[in-house]
Amino acid sequence: MALSLTILGSNSALPTSDRYPTAQILRVSERFFLIDCGEGTQMQLRRNKVNFNKISQIFLSHLHGDHIFGLMGLISTFGLLGRRNALHIHAHEDLKGLLEPHLNYFCTDLPYNIEFHDLTYDEPTIIYEDKKVTVESFPLSHRVPTCGFLFKEKPKQANIRKEAIKKYDLKVREIVAIKAGETFIGEDGNPVPPEELVIPAPKPLSYAFCSDTRYYRRVIPIIKGVDILYHEATFAHELKDLAKRTSHTTAKQAATIARDAEVGQLLLGHFSSRYKDLTPLLKEAKAVFDNAILVRDNEMYVLE
């Protein structure tokens, strides 16, 4: 399983009996990233059997309550479970000042460190990187400073063909060089075609998260060609004026972004509580971009 996304919450500001506020767990290259942390996130993590200790990076798109009200409880629970590894929180610079009074009152003896990483909101920025994954923030357009996030696997090396090792009596240093893309010269002095030596590496996978934002076409070149795009679809298009006033997006507008960015799949979420039946939102999105689906709490979406 190279990339999987579990929806912990799919609703907007007001939770419903079956839709929690925004939170997601993205698993990519065996890393677990928590994206936003609405109220009830830790309950949803339990329900989906996510190992709390595997979460080391939290990315918060903006400081509205429906995206962060679950954070303080989660921090406390981490401490009660005896966490030792540092917790890294990527968020607006104001978050640290907002949390510190609560931490000083309720969590004076946390057994782990919290490291705050301030986001910027003027241009795309790499905010996390290791040997397998990069995470990039990029500006969205909402009522407060807001970021989207782009998660990308780094390219993998090709796998050497076992029959090629035997046929060409390849040494370790030659295998390493071939996997790195170097040309191998056979005994006849001619280069051996790469397809005879290696099995091509799988295509690196990518995921983009866009919530909350008005219809904002500046994201298109940033998310171009991603495998999965999650985009808020708070309203049906008949409420496009309300969407504009509140800096949100309609399902039709989200689908237009997906189509023009040539993404692989569109996941629609962040639904207004006014919608008990979400079918009209899906219908209008699919009229523009057919590979669109409505996310549901506690469902997992997998790319391999």
CB atoms within 10 A of CB 96: 15
Q: 0.85 cut: is pTM over it?
A: yes
Residue 9 DSSP SS3: strand
Angstrom distance (rounded) from CA 90 to CA 282: 32
- Per this entry, what is the length of the chain? 304
Q: What is the pLDDT of residue 180?
A: 83
Angstrom distance (rounded) from CA 5 to CA 299: 8
Residue 198, H or E segment: strand 198-199
CB atoms within 10 A of CB 269: 27
- Maximum CA extent, the chain: 75
Angstrom distance (rounded) from CA 151 to CA 50: 19
Q: What is the pLDDT of residue 189?
A: 86
The span from the first CA to the last CA of the chain, in angstroms, equals: 6
What the chain holds in terms of domains, given with CATH numbers, is 3-156+202-295+299-303 (3.60.15.10), 159-199 (no CATH)
Rg of the chain's alpha carbons, rounded to an integer? 22
Q: What is the pLDDT of residue 254?
A: 98
DSSP H helices, 152-192, are 162-168, 172-179
DSSP H helices, the chain, are 41-47, 65-68, 71-80, 94-106, 162-168, 172-179, 194-197, 220-223, 240-245, 251-261, 279-286
Q: What is the pLDDT of residue 157?
A: 83
CB atoms within 10 A of CB 10: 28
Q: What is the pLDDT of residue 201?
A: 85
| Cβ atoms of 19 and 295 closer than 8 Å | no
Instruction: Record the tokens describing residue 155, joined without a space.
Output: 């390219």
Peptide bond into 212 cis (omega under 30): yes
Angstrom distance (rounded) from CA 286 to CA 302: 20
Going residue by residue through the chain (304 aa), what tens digit of pLDDT does each one get? 589 999 999 999 989 989 999 999 999 989 999 999 999 999 999 999 999 999 999 999 999 999 999 999 999 999 999 999 999 999 999 999 999 999 999 999 999 999 999 999 999 999 999 999 999 999 999 999 999 999 999 998 888 999 988 888 898 998 889 888 889 988 888 899 988 888 988 889 999 999 999 999 999 999 999 999 999 999 999 999 999 999 999 999 999 999 999 999 999 999 999 999 999 999 999 999 999 999 999 999 998 7
Q: What is the pLDDT of residue 265?
A: 98
Residues marked active site are found at: 66
- The letter for the amino acid at 218 is R
